[in-house]
């Protein structure tokens, strides 16, 4: 049974880690706003995009709009994601508004392409760091989770539809050029967000069907240092549907390890049937868990 003091210490360290990640995310996103996007009137997708668009149209302070626009999403997050998530998100959004309002940042460049790329980069980094800390600074994805359950559609479809409306509004209220550059900002932020959530090590699930399954299992364990799961199955072939028993080996490796695994399998059994697929997330085992994409 775990020691009570060690459990409390672990929770405190986890809280401190989340606080640091959220704080870094706040400052990164704020730098993206004030160092790049605000000066050139560019926007992003989601709740931050709505806030930036309304700032340009109404001239209301961005800090004020960030809080007002995200309040419904925080309340929805309390219902959909739980109390801890809602508290962290409220802290993240309030902190973002405070930094935007009171911390000065230099205007880095007036070049439209650089503003779109690097403004999106710092904004995406801020969102990614905040998600790693267990919160969000853009509440539209919470809305997407809620609507996907109600409407039976995917989260991605809802986010695309919402952002399409935002960029169409930007075309009307700002200009076609700013709307197009804002799409570049959104793409830059999205790619940066993916990097901060997934890093370089994209995971691949590999299913191996081979008569040399024993040697393949030993290779995965000793040479790659990975775990594996063995399924008992039957291999069918031919017009008569003849079949024979075979052990099916399943393992998860990073994309960087995939070529090494394939070469090792080919050396053991050139006739092995190998199926590879991308893995979005894992939990437990010998693979580190990725943060959830809210």
Same domain, 155 and 238: no
Is residue 291 in a domain? no
Q: Any idea which residue has 């986890």 for tokens?
A: 14
Q: How far apart are the first and last CA of the chain?
A: 33
Which pLDDT tens digit goes with each residue over 60-113?
Answer: 998 999 999 999 988 988 888 888 888 999 999 999 999 999 999 998 888 999
Q: What was the pLDDT predicted at 243? A: 67
Q: How many domains does the chain have?
A: 2
Same domain, 45 and 144: yes
Tell if the pTM clears 0.85, that is, is over it. no
Same domain, 58 and 162: yes
- Final residue of a structural domain among 198, 230, 247: 198
Q: What was the pLDDT predicted at 291? A: 44
Please tell me the total number of residues recorded for the chain in this structure.
294
Separation between Cα atoms, residue 11 and residue 29, nearest integer Å: 27
Q: 81: which 2 tokens?
A: 């994601």
Q: Residue 51 pLDDT more than 80?
A: yes
Same domain, 27 and 152: yes
Separation between Cα atoms, residue 206 and residue 209, nearest integer Å: 10
User: Residue 268 belongs to what domain range?
Assistant: 203-279
Q: What was the pLDDT predicted at 294? A: 37
14 closest CA partner among 136, 135, 134, 131: 134
Same domain, 159 and 228: no
28 closest CA partner among 96, 108, 114: 96
Q: Across residues 153-163, what is the average pLDDT?
A: 75
Residue 128, judged by CB atoms within 10 A of its CB (0-12, 13-18, 19+), counts as buried
Separation between Cα atoms, residue 19 and residue 25, nearest integer Å: 10
For residue 183, the tally of other CB atoms under 10 A from its CB is: 19
Same domain, 128 and 266: no
Is residue 78 in a domain? yes
Same domain, 194 and 233: no
Q: 215: which 2 tokens?
A: 């040697």
- Final residue of a structural domain among 198, 232, 253: 198
Same domain, 32 and 144: yes
- Final residue of a structural domain among 198, 232, 262: 198
Same domain, 112 and 179: yes
Same domain, 152 and 207: no
- 96 within 8 A of 138, measured Cβ to Cβ: no
Is residue 178 in a domain? yes
Phi-psi region of 82 (alpha: psi -120 to 50; beta: other; left: phi over 0): left
Same domain, 188 and 209: no
């Amino acid at each position: 049974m775990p020691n009570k003091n060690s459990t409390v210490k672990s929770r405190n360290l986890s809280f401190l880690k989340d606080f640091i990640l959220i704080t870094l995310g706040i400052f990164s996103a704020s730098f993206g706003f004030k160092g790049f996007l605000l000066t050139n009137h560019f926007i992003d997708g989601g709740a931050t995009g709505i806030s930036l668009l309304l700032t340009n149209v109404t001239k209301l302070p961005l800090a004020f709009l960030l809080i007002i626009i995200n309040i419904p999403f925080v309340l929805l997050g309390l219902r959909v994601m739980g109390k801890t998530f809602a508290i962290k998100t409220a802290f993240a959004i309030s902190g973002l508004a405070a930094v935007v309002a009171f911390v000065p940042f230099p205007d880095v460049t007036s070049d439209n392409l650089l503003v779109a790329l690097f403004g999106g980069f710092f904004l995406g980094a801020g969102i990614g760091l905040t998600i790693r800390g267990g919160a969000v600074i853009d509440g539209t994805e919470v809305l997407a989770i809620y609507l996907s359950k109600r409407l039976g559609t995917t989260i991605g479809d809802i986010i695309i539809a919402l952002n399409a409306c935002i960029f169409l509004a930007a075309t009307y209220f700002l200009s076609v050029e700013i709307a197009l550059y804002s799409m570049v900002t959104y793409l830059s932020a999205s790619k940066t967000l993916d990097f901060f959530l997934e890093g370089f090590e994209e995971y691949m699930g590999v299913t191996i069907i081979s008569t040399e399954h024993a040697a393949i299992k030993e290779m995965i364990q000793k040479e790659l240092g990975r775990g594996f799961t063995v399924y008992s199955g039957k291999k069918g072939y031919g017009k008569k549907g003849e079949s024979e028993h075979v052990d099916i080996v399943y393992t998860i490796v990073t994309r960087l390890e995939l070529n090494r695994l394939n070469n090792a399998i080919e050396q053991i059994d050139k006739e092995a049937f190998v199926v590879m697929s991308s893995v979005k997330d894992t939990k437990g085992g010998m693979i580190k868990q990725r943060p959830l994409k809210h």
